[in-house]
Amino acid sequence: MYNYQIGPINHFLIEVTGWFTYRNAPQWLGGTDLTLPSVAIMEVWWGLGYHSVFFLAGLAAIPKDLPEAARIDGANEWQVFWHIILPRLQPIMLILVILRFGTSMGVIDEYLIFGGFNRESPTYTWTIFMYDQAFKTGLWRQGLAAAIGMVGSLVMMVFVTWLIYIFRSRD
């Protein structure tokens, strides 16, 4: 998809729309400014079906009489959504946000594929730094890599605690 020469995105931008030529076509990979948005779009596309199933299950679990009662009481569709549907989906959103946050903090292979070990690349995150310290630099700094992992885990626990506080039930 993101290949500079034969990817369908650049083919569409060059051949179909004519916005670019082969000389100035966007470079999606290799640590450019477009690499991080490319990874973000790929991650959203990757998780779209998984999250949709959770949201559909959450919508199916909402009793049908609650929105109907609100409409009978004079609520419009936005009020039904904001005051009935969305609060009932908060536990589902909490689970999905925590799972997605956990998987995004552990991403290493996508960043390596898109940007490599280039320290100037926007995809050089703490997980790649940890891997670089443990296995790639030749110095075998496993202790430093373990410390980086522990600090990352503590930061993640604090953030997950904050997310649980934000999504807590207010009923």
* Residues with Cβ within 8 Å of residue 92, at least 6 apart in sequence: 54, 55, 57, 58
> Residue 151's pLDDT band (boundaries 50, 70, 90)?
very high
Mean pLDDT of 56-65: 93
Q: Mean pLDDT over residues 144-164, rounded?
A: 92
pLDDT at 26 > cutoff 90: no
At which residue do the structure tokens 């490599």 appear?
A: 116
Spatial contact of 19 and 25, defined as CB atoms under 8 Å apart: no
pLDDT (0 to 100) of residue 111: 77
What digits encode the pLDDT tens for the residues 90-106?
A: 989 999 999 888 888 87
34-59 per-position pLDDT tens digit: 878 888 888 888 889 999 999 999 99
Q: What type of residue is 59?
A: L
Helix axes 142-166, 86-105, angle to 10 degrees: 170
